[in-house]
Structure 1
Amino acid sequence: MTLLLNADLHCHSVVSDGTLTPEELAARAHANGVQLWALTDHDEIGGQHRAATAAQALGMDYLTGVEISVTFADTTVHIVGLGFDAHDAQLAQGLAATRGGRGERAQEIARQLAQVGIMGAYEGALRYVGNPELISRTHFARHLVDAGVCRDTPEVFRRFLTEGHPGYVEHRWASLRDAVRWIREAGGAAVIAHPGRYRFTPTEEYALFSEFKQHGGEGVEVVTGSHMPSEYPIYAAMAQEFGLAASRGSDFHSPHESHTDLGQLPGLPDQLTPVWELLQGRILRAPASSAPT
């Protein structure tokens, strides 16, 4: 693997379930040598202007980004959009509809946790939420750690909030077709996020890639903080098989929770087409004089 461009095209701010502001993320990415950056908050593009402004002020190029939750084969799958028009009305409306059910879901999570003796979880989770429309399991996990119920967030997800455990509440997200369409019609490229996380059978995974490609999806995350290094060649081969460009992103959420920092991944395999090559005309270039001295 050769790192020709240090691109990090997957991370989260306080606008969704990260712990840093867009400006703090931009500074961290720049300090770690990132040259092309994207903020990809969950189902929300409200931080895009701040992120782009901060990135360009530091001398980094920027791609608009979002991570859309979709339901596929009864599983929540994430589709990253890159290089879209952040003012596109259809995309904004679709994301608002996707966010719509999170509040009710959060109340049900809290009710289930109360049944096993964990009281006040909803109010506790709200203390960690930058955007109340995007309250998520991650916010509940942070509350349970700070309340002393669990040692760390991995323990929370082992004991709670996942299928078969207290606090798991299924939610129906956008369709794969709609998510890819919103991104494409806003001028961007759709990317399957961290496919190794979904624990699909080979048949289900093949169906995901096939349908994604059929709908006009163009990329897949190959090198990501949510993959083991042994998975990089697996998804490099999938990218080649389906004619998809490859993306790279840390999936960074927090200095205290994420095991991969911004800009710290290896490069993409040489034989793949980087997704940013498809988006050259959509990159927001930093002014030559903007980099700090």
Structure 2
Amino acid sequence: MQLINADLHSHSDVSDGTLSPEALATRAHAQGVELWALTDHDELGGVARAREAALDLGMGFLAGCEISVTFAGESVHIVGLGVDPEDEALVAGLQAIRSGRRERAERMSQALAAVGIRGAFEGALRYVGNPELISRTHFARWLVEAGYFAETHEVFRHYLAAGKPGHVPHHWAGLGDAVRWITGAGGVAVIAHPARYRFSPTAEYALFSEFVAHGGQAVEVVTGSHTVAEQLQYADTALEFELLASRGSDFHSPDESRVDLGALPDLPGRLTPVWQALAGRIQRA
């Protein structure tokens, strides 16, 4: 298997990253990335800019997005790689998901005010590049700036994770809908960072089984939040469910991300990389 430095999961300021699509492409190239995908949350608005910047720099590019899904009461993320960013069903589906974010953010602000943190909604808006995509990450950045915590990971642990004072649950897309939107747009659906979800073994098996039944084809094995042990675990899962393997940093910000663009270890050699199935969708200069 020919190894390439592929980073197929990253976010710009069109969703909850801090860099523009152009700056993100420049950073990826400087880090040695050869094949890159922009996968903003529930949004395709940065794809054209990212593609132009990537091709100008000589990188291969895949159009992508990361879709928020509710499964068994948990939020799960499904990455779409190699999608047509103008596909009508995909565009409409993402618009439907985005429509509930502002109301959720206002409820989060009210919840934080109830525990003595006021002005959170207005504070979070200062970090938002796309008003339709205000998220928990924007609240976390404001809480760090306001001096409540030293880093955003602490904010999530104490205030914004499930069961904490500022957490407001939201019903996202269905798993089947997300996979169908991606595959209907010519792409490959990927379960993102599976170790992050708080599923029992039974619920996780159900997630993978239903994902495959709907037409999902890949799982992130190597990603910024996975330990070495988790990489090995999900390499086995990929083989068990006959899934392709993906690799992506989940990069959001130079100051916040655990792993920089392009800095991940290689996929285990016994797996089939997802980019082999996407060869016809990779855009090059």
TM score, norm. by length of structure 1: 0.96
Structure 2 letter corresponding to 1:251 = D
Counterpart in the other structure of 1:255: 254
SS in 2 for 1:70: strand
Counterpart in the other structure of 2:207: 208
Counterpart in the other structure of 1:280: 279
Counterpart in the other structure of 1:146: 145
Counterpart in the other structure of 1:134: 133
Instruction: Answer yes or no: is the 8 Å Cα contact 1:3–1:267 preserved in 2.
Output: no
Structure-1 separation of matches of 2:274 and 2:97? 25
Q: Deviations over 1:25-72 (max 9, x none)?
A: 000000000000000000000000000000000000000110000000
Structure-1 separation of matches of 2:181 and 2:238? 22
Q: Deviations over 1:111-131 (max 9, x none)?
A: 011111111100000000000
Instruction: Answer yes or no: is the 8 Å Cα contact 1:3–1:266 preserved in 2.
Output: no
Counterpart in the other structure of 1:290: none
Counterpart in the other structure of 2:90: 91
Structure-2 separation of matches of 1:231 and 1:162? 21
Structure-2 separation of matches of 1:224 and 1:157? 19
Counterpart in the other structure of 1:107: 106
Q: CA RMSD in A?
A: 0.9
Q: Which has the higher contact order (CA 8 A, sep 6+)?
A: 1
Number of positions where the alignment pairs a residue of Structure 1 with one of Structure 2: 285
| Percent identity (aligned) | 67
Instruction: Answer yes or no: is the 8 Å Cα contact 2:225–2:258 preserved in 1.
Output: no
Counterpart in the other structure of 2:7: 8
**Which sections of structure 1, spanning at least 5 residues, go unmatched?**
287-293
Instruction: Answer yes or no: is the 8 Å Cα contact 1:16–1:44 preserved in 2.
Output: yes
Structure-1 separation of matches of 2:61 and 2:205? 32
Instruction: Answer yes or no: is the 8 Å Cα contact 2:37–2:63 preserved in 1.
Output: yes
**Which sections of structure 2, spanning at least 5 residues, go unmatched?**
none
Structure-1 separation of matches of 2:219 and 2:125? 33
Structure 1 letter corresponding to 2:185 = A
Structure-2 separation of matches of 1:3 and 1:168? 43
Instruction: Answer yes or no: is the 8 Å Cα contact 1:73–1:204 preserved in 2.
Output: yes
What is the CA-CA distance between 1:85 and the residue it aligns to?
A: 0.7
What is the CA-CA distance between 1:3 and the residue it aligns to?
A: 7.3
Instruction: Answer yes or no: is the 8 Å Cα contact 1:3–1:268 preserved in 2.
Output: no
